[in-house]
């Protein structure tokens, strides 16, 4: 029994509600979401959906009937504006107040705005929501030249989709390599070359300094190294900011996200936080608390909290894994490879299929696989179960990895 309110109708919020019902929670259950649509998958927004190979209907995590069938009330298109922790109530922007016995914050993250003049010109866009994807899609038809600011996952996925539509694409990135915060040098270099071979141009080690426009519309991106890159459309993908304001204003502990303990409880035992907004201690991340932006993390943290709230408390210890599709290249990552002090490659990158095994102090901490899904599945087990694999064995194509997990 009891009443659970979930704030945030994204991947994590949806999964928390679904898992609570699956685990037998039979009290009142409400999800509050500020987007106007029922929970959907974000990953296809920068991949199949933007490429025109998926429809909004196929993105929905469940059909509308699911929520009715499972007595999950959806309050969509409305923000949770304030928390009254002493009175255990959430105040919605609409003025309505929802009482709770337990509150789950699954507020996700929002795009980091580009802090330069001209960033508000028409045609300068970001991608987080279905509405963002629709407005990009609507403009893409007439576009000939695109500049992508930021060579992270979303920037590169978008660049690949645009290049496949014969649009001239230039990617501007402040770091000296692509996906530098997330992957090994070998994987980064491979992706840069593959994108260049597909016609994408890179300007590395420079940032956007100003966006130029005419009649309120973007015309070019001016960079710190003195270039003016023509653009009909600019896609800004420079990372996200966790949505922690609601928690902070209610006096919960925050630091680049909502701080939670190893069971995903905030500093208030009646409030949990999960997904992109949560900063948690991970057994795979070394000592410092971490925040992970991935479907795996959102789903597994939701399941962990649902289990705790239905009497099966356990520390959160799921192995992080991630994927990114960039054109015909499927990147899969098991574990958290940054930082690492040794990396060995299995398979030949020249064939377009290989894995990079990353070690920290002699332990395997992350494996990046490109078009090698079998390596990825084995790597998940090797890292999660801390099975020994010497770098020399990982690099030896004759060494049978499958035998280790049989």
- Interface ranges with ligand FAD (CB under 6 A): 7-13, 32-35, 42-43, 45-46, 79-80, 106-109, 127-128, 154, 243, 246, 275-276, 293-296, 298, 322-324
Instruction: Give min distance, CB of 80 to ligand FAD, in A.
Output: 4
- Chain centroid to CA 200: 23
What contacts 24+ positions apart, CB below 8 Å, involve 374-378?
374/402, 375/346, 375/347, 375/401, 376/321, 376/332, 376/333, 376/334, 378/402, 378/404, 378/405
| E strands present in 314-378 | 321-326, 329-335, 342-346, 354-360, 363-370
Instruction: Give min distance, CB of 381 to ligand FAD, in A.
Output: 19
Instruction: Give min distance, CB of 310 to ligand FAD, in A.
Output: 20
Instruction: Give min distance, CB of 295 to ligand FAD, in A.
Output: 4
- Chain centroid to CA 81: 24
Which residue number, 187 or 243, has a Cβ lying nearer to ligand FAD?
A: 243
Which residue number, 111 or 223, has a Cβ lying nearer to ligand FAD?
A: 111
Instruction: Give min distance, CB of 302 to ligand FAD, in A.
Output: 8
Residues 31 and 368: their CA atoms lie apart, in Å, by 35
Residues 187 and 383: their CA atoms lie apart, in Å, by 19
Which residue number, 4 or 389, has a Cβ lying nearer to ligand FAD?
A: 4
Which residue number, 124 or 401, has a Cβ lying nearer to ligand FAD?
A: 124
Q: Taking Cα atoms as reference points, which of 275, 122, 106 lies closest to residue 213?
A: 122
Instruction: Give min distance, CB of 219 to ligand FAD, in A.
Output: 26
Q: What angle do CA 83, 84, 88 make, to 5 degrees?
A: 105
Which residue number, 107 or 188, has a Cβ lying nearer to ligand FAD?
A: 107
Contact 357, 404 (CB under 8 A): no
366 HSE (CA, 13 A, CB side)? 26
Which residue number, 46 or 272, has a Cβ lying nearer to ligand FAD?
A: 46
| Residue least distant from ligand FAD (Cβ) | 10
Which residue number, 16 or 220, has a Cβ lying nearer to ligand FAD?
A: 16
Instruction: Give min distance, CB of 204 to ligand FAD, in A.
Output: 22
């Amino acid at each position: 029994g009891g009443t659970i309110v979930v704030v945030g109708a994204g991947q994590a919020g949806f999964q928390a509600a679904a898992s609570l019902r699956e685990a037998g929670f039979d009290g009142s259950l409400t999800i509050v979401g500020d987007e106007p649509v029922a929970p959907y998958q974000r990953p296809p927004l920068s991949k199949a959906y933007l490429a025109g190979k998926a429809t909004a209907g196929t993105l929905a995590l469940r059909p509308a009937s699911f929520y009715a069938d499972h007595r999950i009330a959806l309050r969509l298109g409305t923000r949770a504006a304030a928390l009254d922790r002493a009175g255990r109530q959430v105040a919605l922007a609409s003025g309505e107040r929802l009482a709770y016995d337990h509150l789950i914050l699954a507020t996700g993250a929002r795009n980091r705005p580009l802090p330069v003049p001209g960033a508000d010109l028409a045609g300068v866009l970001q991608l987080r929501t279905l509405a963002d994807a629709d407005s990009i899609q609507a403009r893409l038809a007439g576009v000939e030249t695109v500049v992508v600011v930021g060579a992270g996952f979303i920037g590169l996925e978008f660049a690949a989709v645009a290049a496949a539509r014969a649009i001239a694409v230039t990617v501007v990135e402040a770091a000296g390599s692509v996906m530098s915060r997330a992957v090994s040098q070998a994987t980064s270099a491979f992706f840069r070359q593959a994108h260049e071979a597909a016609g994408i141009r890179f300007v590395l080690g420079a940032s956007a300094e100003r966006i130029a426009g005419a009649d309120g519309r973007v015309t070019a991106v001016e960079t710190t190294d003195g270039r003016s890159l023509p653009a009909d459309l600019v896609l800004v993908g420079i990372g996200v900011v966790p949505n922690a304001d609601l928690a902070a204003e209610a006096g919960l502990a925050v630091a680049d996200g909502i701080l939670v303990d190893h069971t995903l409880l905030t500093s208030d035992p009646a409030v949990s936080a999960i997904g992109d907004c949560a900063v948690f201690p991970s057994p795979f991340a070394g000592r410092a608390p971490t925040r992970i932006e991935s479907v795996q993390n959102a789903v597994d943290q939701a399941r962990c909290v649902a289990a705790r709230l239905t009497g099966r408390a356990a520390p959160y210890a799921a192995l992080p894994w991630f994927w990114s599709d960039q054109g015909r290249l499927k990147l899969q990552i098991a574990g958290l490879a940054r930082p690492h002090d040794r990396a060995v490659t299995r398979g030949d990158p020249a064939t377009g299929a290989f894995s990079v095994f990353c070690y920290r102090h002699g332990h395997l901490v992350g494996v990046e696989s490109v078009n090698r899904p079998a390596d990825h599945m084995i790597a998940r087990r090797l890292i999660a179960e801390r099975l020994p694999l010497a770098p020399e064995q990982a690099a030896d194509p004759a060494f049978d990895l499958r035998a280790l997990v049989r």
